[in-house]
């Protein structure tokens, strides 16, 4: 299936073949980027904030120049953007030999925030590119990155194949509330993303560490690569992986971040000043970081309960009602309000829930219909105790 070149993070195979050799060079853009780089090339004492502003200026210049040519020639846009990236990469490479680049985690976090969306207002999984393009992926789709291609298999079996013409591009996979998706990264690592999650990653991994950024929840089956550690950056810590399966939960509206290890080994490092010491987890262990006091606790965990969401199940072991309601709201993209007489938010619940069932049925398992009233008002459920 072919895509409109202006709407996708890559191009289809046919469009790339028909455009081979059509690129042109933009001297004005190259000169402008060159001036930005060389102006500060000898400034060894440049502050971190100044380096960040320079990088932003360069990337904004590229984006602006490309956009202003949009109405003239779409083929020219691709060639110009590629030339600009080459110019930036070469110049920044020379400059940063003298001045260290931005922290890897902060760089990924910035890219993720640029593509951040209101997940409650999106009705389908979306794929956004660092070039500014974005496409709808569709429900129950599986994305597969391999070499310079991206294959998207929809829930109905339809397939799309996109050409990733620029290996330096980063993608952000945006999963709104009420949805889930799967992606196989370029190194063969498999990631299952839960509702309300965003994953930022390069379309092609380089020779160094394989770094990605996650907000939300994901289950990882990491492909082993000798000498190339896999690093998951979160807002408050990073997880270094050698080749393993583990689950990470890092929703920004939760009071904690957690990682549970099923197989292999992972190492956790704090990103906060005066944070916890580096911790290495063994299989069957779960680390939970309290964001308020920055304390990390490690406890036994089978791991299977934590990844039950990948099978559209939810296994609960003494989970606070407030945490359960928050998870259900993400899964069903619906607000749940505890009205008069409903159970206290700090009460804990155990059991299992089938997330393939309608939310009304799930709530009736938690709140007995003989005791509680469950009223639905459009996309909101209100629970109150009967008199």
Please tell me whether residues 34 and 136 are part of one structural domain.
Answer: no
Please tell me whether residues 252 and 345 are part of one structural domain.
Answer: no
Asked if 321 contacts 344 with a C-beta cutoff of 8 angstroms, the reply is yes
Please tell me whether residues 109 and 197 are part of one structural domain.
Answer: yes
What's the confidence (pLDDT) of residue 44?
44
What's the confidence (pLDDT) of residue 182?
97
Please tell me whether residues 275 and 357 are part of one structural domain.
Answer: no
Structure-token match 């262990």, residue found: 285
**Partners of 336 in the beta sheet?**
381
Please tell me whether residues 31 and 122 are part of one structural domain.
Answer: no
Task: Supply the range of the domain harboring residue 361.
Answer: 312-385
Please tell me whether residues 228 and 362 are part of one structural domain.
Answer: no
Please tell me whether residues 268 and 317 are part of one structural domain.
Answer: no
Kind and range of the H or E run holding 94 = helix 74-96
Asked if 187 contacts 212 with a C-beta cutoff of 8 angstroms, the reply is no
Check the CA dihedral 99-105-106-107 and report its sign.
positive
Residue that finishes a domain, picked among 69, 96, 123:
96
What's the confidence (pLDDT) of residue 119?
72
Instruction: Give the side-chain half-sphere CA count within 13 A for 240.
Output: 12
Residue that finishes a domain, picked among 96, 123, 138:
96
Please tell me whether residues 19 and 166 are part of one structural domain.
Answer: no
| Number of domains within the chain | 3
What's the confidence (pLDDT) of residue 12?
39
**Is residue 307 assigned to a domain?**
no
Please tell me whether residues 349 and 366 are part of one structural domain.
Answer: yes
**Partners of 246 in the beta sheet?**
220, 261
Please tell me whether residues 190 and 264 are part of one structural domain.
Answer: yes
What's the confidence (pLDDT) of residue 344?
62
Please tell me whether residues 142 and 115 are part of one structural domain.
Answer: yes
pTM of the model: 0.73
What's the confidence (pLDDT) of residue 205?
92
For the chain of 387 residues, list the mean pLDDT of each consecutive stretch of 10: 42 36 43 45 45 49 46 40 42 38 78 75 87 87 92 90 87 93 96 96 91 97 91 94 91 94 95 88 95 92 91 91 91 90 74 94 91 89 87
């Amino acid at each position: 299936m072919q895509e409109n070149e202006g709407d996708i993070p890559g191009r289809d195979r046919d469009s790339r073949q028909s455009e081979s050799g059509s690129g042109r060079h933009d001297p004005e853009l190259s000169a402008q980027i060159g001036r930005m780089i060389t102006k500060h090339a000898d400034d060894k004492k440049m502050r971190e904030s100044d380096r960040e502003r320079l990088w932003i200026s360069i990337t904004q210049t590229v984006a602006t120049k490309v956009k202003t040519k949009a109405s003239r020639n779409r083929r020219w846009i691709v060639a110009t953007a590629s030339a600009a990236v080459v110019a930036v990469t070469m110049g920044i490479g020379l400059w940063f030999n003298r001045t260290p680049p931005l922290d890897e985690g902060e760089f990924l976090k910035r890219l993720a925030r640029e593509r951040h969306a209101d997940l409650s207002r999106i009705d389908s999984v979306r794929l956004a590119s660092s070039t500014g393009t974005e496409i709808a992926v569709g429900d129950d789709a599986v994305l597969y990155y391999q070499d310079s291609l991206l294959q998207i298999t929809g829930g109905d079996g339809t397939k799309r194949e996109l050409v990733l013409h620029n290996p330096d591009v980063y993608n952000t996979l945006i999963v709104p509330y009420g949805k889930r998706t799967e992606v196989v990264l370029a190194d063969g690592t498999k990631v299952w993303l839960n509702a309300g999650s965003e994953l930022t990653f390069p379309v092609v991994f380089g020779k160094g560490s394989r770094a990605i950024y996650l907000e939300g929840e994901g289950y990882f089956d990491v492909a082993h690569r000798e000498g190339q550690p896999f690093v998951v950056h979160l807002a408050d810590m990073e997880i270094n992986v050698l080749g393993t399966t583990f689950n990470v939960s890092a929703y920004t509206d939760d009071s904690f971040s957690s990682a549970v290890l099923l197989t292999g080994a992972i190492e956790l490092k704090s990103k906060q000043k005066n944070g916890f010491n580096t911790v290495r987890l063994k299989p069957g262990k779960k680390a939970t970081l309290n964001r308020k006091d920055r304390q990390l606790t490690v406890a036994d965990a089978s791991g299977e309960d934590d990844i039950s969401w990948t099978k559209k199940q939810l296994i609960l072991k003494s989970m606070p009602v407030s945490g359960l309601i928050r998870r259900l709201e993400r899964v069903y993209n619906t607000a749940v309000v505890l009205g008069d007489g409903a159970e206290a938010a700090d009460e804990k619940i155990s059991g299992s829930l089938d997330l393939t069932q309608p939310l009304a049925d799930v709530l009736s398992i938690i709140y007995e219909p003989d005791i509680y009233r469950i009223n639905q008002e459009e996309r909101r459920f209100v629970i109150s105790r009967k008199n």
